[in-house]
Chain A
Amino acid sequence: MSRIIGIDLGTTNSLVAYVDDTTGLPRIIPDERGRALLPSIVSFTPAGVLVGDDARRQLVRRPHSTVYSVKRLMGRSYEDVKDELRYLPFSVKPAEGIAKIQIEGREVTPPEISAIVLRALKERAEKHFGERLEKAVVTVPAYFNDSQRQATRDAGRIAGLDVVRIVNEPTAASLAYGLHRLYEGRIAVYDLGGGTFDVSILHVKGGVFEVLATNGDTHLGGDDFDRVIMLWLLEDIQARHHADLARTCVNLAEDPEVMQELRLAAEAAKVRLSSVERTTLTLPFANFTYHREITRADIERLIAPLVEKTLGPCRQALKDAGLTPSALDAVVLVGGSTRVPLVRRRVEELYGKTPKSQLDPDLVVALGAAVQAQILAGGITDMLLLDVTPLSLGIETLGGIVSVLITRNTTIPTSAREMFTTSVDGQTIVDLHVVQGERELAKDCRSLARFELSGIDPMPAGMPKIEVTFLIDANGILVVNAREQRSGKAASVEVRPTYGLVEADVERMIEDSFTYAEADVETRLLIETRNEAETVLTHVERAMRQGRELVSPEERAQIDAAVRALSEVRDTDDRERIHDCTIALNRATEHLAELMMDAALRAAVQSKRADEIMESS
């Protein structure tokens, strides 16, 4: 079995991890500078596509073409997200049901953005192992619906990764805790990340991890905290510096760069106030400087309603699991937003237990993804994970009423069979509308897809008996099969996802990404080579100014020729030739460099002597 990596594809940060074969423990793979977290940010610049910290630095400089928090748009319709779009500096437009991002006239889908993040992590892991990697476990919020899971899997495919399993984030966290044998019994995992909230109740015993119930909100997280703080700052600045702003005719809310800076300042203040009680904020503007003190109480007042919103799902999950708070053996905190003291306090009040976070809440999901990957690879055989589907699955029946086929919190994989027939003589096609959610009317639920069962032999109405099997696999993704019972013939099922990419879209994106990827790597290498040439040329020019007289005229001529050769090619696209000329120039100046070093040493010794003389006199 080939190696499988575990990836936490987060709203704010993403990570990649694996299980070390010798210790049997999961480990995060850092980048070459030792950083574990890769900011889930992608920036489209003239020099190419940047990702991670490099893209983060473009947030203020290029607000229109730097995409962040794209996880909130994954598998979403334009209608779902349109209210928050005005806070995003990049442009999002509706297209074929889903929300697409407009980057300099080009349309990019959320899975394509996520794919760029996934590819960066894949490359990081490949560098670490020195081998090609193709398989990954990717985590998603437990409360993600079918469309959001499909979108995540599509992102993997576009990045050249076979997503062998989609695993729920709180469940992954419990696997990491379980591996360390930290808790047994009934455990609540409270997972508040950058953009999503999940709560899962598990029964953990003897290596079996059985999810009893899960609930959440896929649109609630640290981003929302930042937003309310940002809007409060904006109002405060407008009130205090009304006159300054009137003089320059600046509308802060309309300026994407200012708004981005405010968002980053809000985030930084939130983070600081999680460990200290008060902090001062200084923001320079064109003709004034905004300066004020912010206290933890200020922040808590602003975010309290949001923290409160997490408690409803917590109670519902507990109820669905058939438990009372006192029946819980432990409460575990996951996700960066659980560092906020108010969150910890409210969770403690709700469950009547001090919540625990021995494993770093930023890393624990990735560590758990690595554990799941190792289970799939056959490296761990004594752990059994039984997860559930978070939402009820049903079909629309007459009058728009939902007939529930699979109720929420059913252990997956699971399947349900339903019989269908025709209503008109000679009808050869039957349409099904599949929805997900807890509401009675189809229009209040999330539309997943319309299935068209075709190839039914013409018969009088009501005669055909079409048995349809709805299977939710271990990834929480729906698979539909149909069979006409009389003939035993499989009916063909065509899926039209309501808010997703059709197969042809994904295929095209995979192809595009290959061409982009190769071009991207080529461009990056060319830029690096040119930079190297530039550096060497600058050094040599300075050396020749200072040490021209140290070498013979023949040598001087050789160096000048090498400088000319490199200068001629350095702006071309011929990377190999630039590289060769750079090496040739380096070689031609080796002797000069040695002579200059000697001269420098002699000078140093002499000046030291001079110092000694001065001192002794």
Chain B
Amino acid sequence: MSQTVNYFEVFGLPRTLGIDAGQLQAKFYELSRRYHPDFQQSAPPAEQERALTLSALVNTAYRTLRDPIARIEYLVRLEEGRDTREGSAVKPAAPPELLEEIFEVQEMLEDAKASGLDDEGRNRLAAERDRLVARCHQEEELLTGALAADWDEASPAGRPRVVAAFKAALATRAYLRTVIDDLEAALDPAGETDVTHHRH
């Protein structure tokens, strides 16, 4: 196995999104037994070095592929020939049908920042958060359900169209998550210091 293979290749998988979690885990354990530094102690230093790099690659690949959303983000980067290190492949974009609603939320947040939250304001923000969380789940279901199936069935010529659909859905999701995070921070100021809270 070389360092330049992609995460799908690491696990001997085709570039498809329908991945069985149990099989992925079994393969992960098998690869870990082969490359984990614990089993390389008596190998020559160069071999240990190589195994260490591969072990790190196996871990990152597993972390990415086991999460259905991260798996799609990675696929998009791979298809577009971008640098595949972790990071967002899309710029957040607001869903058009929610533009007005989100504008209102931003105003409420500004007010809350300026004059604090009363019970009514708190309830309104919480209700708004719940609505956006539901909308976010909807986008995730679209990504991991219908769109993922589209990808697995698409002909090579049809793939760019699915990638574009992935990007649009990922952009909406990224936008919604930012607003949700802002709402959570306003509702629970103590939790705002935790930057890794919502990351994948």
Q: Does A60 contact B (CB under 8 A)?
A: no
Q: Does B4 contact A (CB under 8 A)?
A: no
Q: Beyond A1-B41, A376-B41, A418-B85, is A413–B52 a contact (Cβ under 8 Å)?
A: yes
Q: Which residues of A contact B39 (CB under 8 A)?
A: 378, 381
Q: Which residues of A contact B33 (CB under 8 A)?
A: 384
Q: In the complex, what's the smallest C-beta–C-beta distance from A421 to chain B, in angstroms?
A: 14
Scoring B residues 86 to 106 as 1 if CB is less than 8 Å from chain A, else 0, what string do you get?
A: 100000000000000000000
Q: In the complex, what's the smallest C-beta–C-beta distance from B69 to chain A, in angstroms?
A: 14
Residue in A376, A408, A410 whose CB lies within 8 Å of B63? A410
- B42/A413 in contact, CB under 8 A: no
Q: Beyond A416-B86, A439-B195, A473-B52, is A411–B38 a contact (Cβ under 8 Å)?
A: no
Q: In the complex, what's the smallest C-beta–C-beta distance from B53 to chain A, in angstroms?
A: 7
Most buried by B among A376, A385, A411: A411
Scoring B residues 182 to 196 as 1 if CB is less than 8 Å from chain A, else 0, what string do you get?
A: 000000000001111
- A438/B56 in contact, CB under 8 A: no
Interface residues of B, dominant DSSP: helix
- A415/B196 in contact, CB under 8 A: no
Residue in A377, A386, A414, A473 whose CB lies within 8 Å of B41? A377
- By beta carbon, the residue of chain B nearest A403 is B87
Query: How long is the Cα–Cα vector from A47 to B144 in the complex, in angstroms?
Result: 72
Q: Which residues of A contact B41 (CB under 8 A)?
A: 1, 164, 376-378
- By beta carbon, the residue of chain A nearest B199 is A407
Query: How long is the Cα–Cα vector from A405 to B85 in the complex, in angstroms?
Result: 10
Residue in B32, B53, B83, B195 whose CB lies within 8 Å of A404? B195
Query: How long is the Cα–Cα vector from A203 to B42 in the complex, in angstroms?
Result: 28
Q: Which residues of B contact A438 (CB under 8 A)?
A: 193-196
Residue in B32, B56, B196 whose CB lies within 8 Å of A407? B196
Q: Which residues of A contact B193 (CB under 8 A)?
A: 438-440, 444
Query: How long is the Cα–Cα vector from A375 to B42 in the complex, in angstroms?
Result: 12
- B56/A384 in contact, CB under 8 A: no
- By beta carbon, the residue of chain A nearest B52 is A413
- A414/B196 in contact, CB under 8 A: no
- A416/B52 in contact, CB under 8 A: no
- A384/B52 in contact, CB under 8 A: no
Q: Which residues of B contact A381 (CB under 8 A)?
A: 39
Q: Which residues of A contact B36 (CB under 8 A)?
A: 384, 386, 474
- A375/B38 in contact, CB under 8 A: yes
Interfacial residues, chain A to chain B (CB-CB below 8 A): 1, 164-165, 208, 372, 375-378, 381, 384-386, 392, 402, 404, 407-408, 410-419, 438-440, 444, 471, 473-474
